[in-house]
Amino acid sequence: MNLNHSVPATARPLKIQILISGTGSNAINIAHQFKNGQLSGLGEISQVISNRPKAQGLNTAQELGLATLCVDHQDYEDKAAFETALIHAIDSKPCDLIVLAGFMRVLSPEFVSHYAGRIINIHPSLLPAYKGLNTHQRVLDAGETHHGVSVHLVIPDLDAGPLIGQAILNIKSDDTAETLRQRIQAMEYWLYPHCLQLILSGDIQLMTDRVIFKAPHIQTTATGVEPWPEDVILNQTMSTD
Ligand code: GRF
């Protein structure tokens, strides 16, 4: 099913699959939001998949009663074989939307095309700046004054898909890569569920290569969306605790 042409009401609750590689704290946070938070009633997690058997997030997801599966990339002779197995695993359960949350494999254009308009990712930078790895240290090394995190539609080009949501912070003089990681992650725990809520409620429509903002309250810019400032996010998080 493609979210392009709006999902029929009878298809609700929409089925989400989350792909992880490690801690999986975003996946677990999203699971809690589905259970009794801002995402409740909007969808269900049908499966959490890791490409690493020892991923901590797999155990935590299992403890929460979620269906989990490991498709270990090391068990396959090449990327194509791994992705064939991954597609098989995903397609074995209902899936309206694939949520990448710390999934550390670069997906091929063939894989992305197979699920065109149905994969989203969270990346710790203000895309289109700082694609790729080690963003916190690279931002510090470059002497940037701002840093942030982006949720975007996945397209075949790496970290290049249209933006769905962004959050921004001011870099402090004593920030390190580790403090930035922590501050960014605190914003992620609000931003990713927020973006999911907009998608699942129909306020944002995902096309194969673009995102349509249907709700007037979403502030867009020429390049994407207006980033949410850190203090606004922290205030919202505290008021819902
Ligand atoms: C997040 O910080 C996200 O931005 C990046 O990978 C990290 C995953 O963390 N893509 P976790 O596994 O969700 O704890």
Beta bridge partners of 169: 147
Give distance in angstroms: CA of 10 to centre of ligand 1: 33
SS in 3 state form for 34-81?
HHHCCCCCCEEEEEEEECCCCCHHHHHHHHCCCCEEECCHHHCCCHHH
Atom number, ligand 1, closest to the C-alpha of residue 184:
2
Specify burial of residue 70 (Cβ count, 10 A radius: 0-12, 13-18, 19+).
middle
Give distance in angstroms: CA of 102 to centre of ligand 1: 4
The single-letter DSSP state of residue 225 is B
pTM score:
0.94
Q: Which position has the token pair 């890791």? A: 50
Atom number, ligand 1, closest to the C-alpha of residue 21:
12
pLDDT tens figures, 148-190: 999 999 999 999 999 999 999 999 999 999 999 999 999 999 9
Beta bridge partners of 16: 45, 97
Task: Tell me what pLDDT residue 224 has.
Answer: 81
First to last CA, the chain: 35
On whether the CB atoms of residues 34 and 99 are closer than 8 A, the answer is no
Task: Tell me what pLDDT residue 223 has.
Answer: 77
Task: Tell me what pLDDT residue 172 has.
Answer: 98
Q: Is 152 annotated as catalytic?
A: no
Burial 23-39 (b: 16+ CB within 10 A, else e): ebbbbbbbbebbeeeeb
Q: Which position has the token pair 């397609």? A: 91
